[in-house]
A = this chain, B = another copy of it.
Amino acid sequence: MKVKVFVTTKAGVLDPQGAAVEQAVHTMGYSSVEQVRIGKYMEFNIIADNREQAAAQVEQMCEKLLANPVVEDYRYELEE
């Protein structure tokens, strides 16, 4: 099963990377770009008996390692 994980900073948490990219694209002339948020994107394969087991494992990995629950949110997609 293919897993895609998206980790983004929680709303309200300062995103200096996002602010820097926003400034850079404005400088390049794309002044209509707003609210740039930068996060992590992860792809991997996982072997599991069913979707529920895969989901449980992915959530555990996110909670323990892939996302920092204090300042980051995560969501994931499972593809058969």
Contacts and interface: CB of A to CB of B under 8 A. Distances in A.
Q: Interface extent on A, as a size class?
A: 20 to 34
Contacts of A6: 41
Nearest to A1: B32
B21 A33 contact: no
Interface string A40-58: 1111111110000000010
A34 B2 CA distance: 10
Contacts of A7: 41
Interface of A: 6-8, 18, 21-22, 24-25, 28, 30, 32-48, 57, 60-61, 64-66
Q: Which 3 A-B pairs rank lowest in CB-CB distance, beginning with the nearest? A: A41-B41, A32-B47, A36-B44
